[in-house]
Chains A and B, each alone.
Chain A
Amino acid sequence: MNAVRLGLNAVSAVTRKELYSYLVSPMAYVVTAVFLLVNGFIFFLIIASPQAEASLRPMLPTTAFLLLLIIPVLTMRLLAEEKSTGTMELLMTFPVTDSQVVLGKFLATFVVYLLMLAPTLVYVVIIRAFGGNEWGPLLSAYLGLVLLGAAFIAVGMFSSSLARNQIVAGVLGIGLLLLLWVMGAASSVLGPRLSSLIAYLSLNDHFMNFGQGVIDLKDVVFYLSFIAGALFLTVRVLESSRWRA
């Protein structure tokens, strides 16, 4: 029990520190501003068009793609900077395990992401004012966005663990996410068995179901295991970077 409490304290120490760093650096604010501005503009275009429907569904693919481009910017710093400035060395001599470091940083970024997403709840108010009266699709859309964002953060952290340079980490993150995004399209050229596996790994396909107002347990499990897998790989990279040194 005591070990669990100490473990949670270590994770929360890292999370607090990381939230502090987000708070005092301009990056999180700039990313949030860009996201809200572009996303708001898209929302306006969709809602103002003559054949507008009172739902979030038409804009979800664009929002998801926008997140794909900006979340790696939010995560690129996380581990790459610690490596390039040398603070990683000190961090790793504290009684904090590699997985606690990774989990703590992930949670901090997740909190920042939720704060970034929160203002978009005005869209819900507007949609309801325009006569959209179904809660189901709205809820499923937000659940989808939360899971998708968390998966992006996990991939972004993994990229950050691979690089020493923040920019490289960011570009790598966007590249990996784009690759996972377009994977679904590969199914048409590959054989049926391989293609179903590849399509399963596509972050995009699972997200689309949420947009339709369907919460499928399979999709939720997919995202949760995807996040766990990416974080696990990040921990392994951190561990191995020590043994290779």
Chain B
Amino acid sequence: MIEVRDLTKYYGPKVALQGVSFEAERGDILGLLGPNGAGKSTTMRILTGYLPPTSGTARIAGFDVTESSLEVRRRIGYLPENVPLYTDMTVSAYLDFVARAKAVSPRRASVEWAMDAARVDHVAGTIIGRLSKGYRQRVGLAQAILGDPEVLILDEPTVGLDPNQISETRQLIKALGGDRTIILSTHILPEVSMVCNKVVIISRGTVVAVDTPDALTRRLIGADRVAVAVRGPAEAVKSRLQGVPGVLSVSPSPTSNGVLHFEVDAEPGHDIREQVAAAVVEGGWGLQELRSQGLSLEEIFLQLTTSEEGVPVA
């Protein structure tokens, strides 16, 4: 449903994104996790067709976001980070405008449904400028889901909300999943594990990890991942690496020029680099590269919000 390939974006000489690639299938709730300024918003703006990428491609439902922008825009609902709304309009007049602009039909019923789903039906006649931050966020969500688009792109959907609202919003997003594909960005680790089934971590404009929330949390919380490049027989190397004490799993990465690449996950607190090196040398194979990947994630982990107080579990 969403295919991002090698996306690069420069703002003048400044790099915002560098070779970002990821995919989401229909029904996925994908979380873009990263510290502030990592490139989450830029990625989303490119996906919505608002910003053109410097290079690389992004496709939504098979349509290129720059070449078939209108086709893409007919299929997405977007909630920008700071929720820009027309503050002089009432909630219902605003949603009526959005429904007309998106050519949603039947218009009335769709607006009613969106107001209902985002729980803004009781403030339908209120001027948006007089609403609290939490309600504005809901109105923003209502306009995004209006017309029931196939893809929802939500930039920091829970930022600035109080704990109860955060929990409600997460429940709503989960409920909206199902057939729809949702991309949401966040810098809150628990949010990802509560809502998403797939996580893409970006930091300084590059993807540093793609994983499921559970595996990711394990890695972030201390499990070490080591990347090894070995010249030798694939099966024998793999089984030998699995035999190293403390190793949880060994997953092969693409092979290049006859060199095998593995990602080795270890139990938390075990630095297995020396044992891995010894194991490869004992096998009589050529050790080409050995590096810990945990460190870079750890760095990012420090910048993420890892715990929340008072937010009910969604």
Contacts and interface: CB of A to CB of B under 8 A. Distances in A.
B73 A87 contact: no
Contacts of B48: 93
Contact of A12 (B49, B87, B98, B100): B100
A13 B101 contact: yes
A87 B85 contact: yes
A245 interface: yes
B131 to A, nearest CB: 15
B269 interface: no
A227 B94 CA distance: 29
B285 interface: no
A178 B171 CA distance: 57
A89 B42 CA distance: 12
Interface in A1-48: 6, 9-10, 12-14, 16-17, 20-21, 24-25
A90 B78 contact: yes
Contacts, number: 71
Interface string B56-91: 000000000000001001101010101011111100
B161 interface: no
B45 A87 contact: no
A219 to B, nearest CB: 36
A24 B103 contact: no
B88 A25 contact: yes
Given A90-B78, A93-B78, A24 B88 contact: yes
A15 B51 CA distance: 25
Interface in A163-218: none
**Chain A binding surface SS class:** helix
B190 to A, nearest CB: 28
B78 A245 contact: no
Given A86-B80, A93-B73, A242-B51, A21 B88 contact: yes
Interface string B88-118: 1100010001101111000000000000000
A92 B50 contact: yes
Contact of A87 (B50, B78, B86): B86
Given A89-B50, A242-B52, A243-B52, A94 B101 contact: yes
| Interface size band for A | 20 to 34
B100 A13 contact: yes
Nearest to A6: B103
Given A94-B101, A242-B50, A243-B52, A20 B73 contact: no
A85 interface: yes
A97 interface: yes
A95 interface: yes
A96 interface: yes
A178 B51 CA distance: 35
Contact of A93 (B11, B76, B88, B89): B76
Interface in A221-245: 242-243, 245
A11 to B, nearest CB: 10
A242 B52 CA distance: 7
Nearest to B93: A20
Given A89-B50, A92-B50, A93-B49, A16 B97 contact: yes
B248 to A, nearest CB: 42
Contacts of A85: 84, 87
Contact of B103 (A95, A243, A245): A95
A86 B41 CA distance: 14
Contacts of B50: 89, 92-93, 242
A93 B88 CA distance: 21
A136 to B, nearest CB: 42
Contacts of A242: 50-52
A91 B85 CA distance: 10
Interface string A89-114: 11111111100000000000000000
9 contacts: A6-B103, A9-B100, A10-B101, A90-B80, A92-B49, A93-B76, A95-B74, A242-B51, A242-B52
Given A9-B100, A86-B80, 4 more contacts: A20-B93, A93-B73, A97-B70, A242-B51
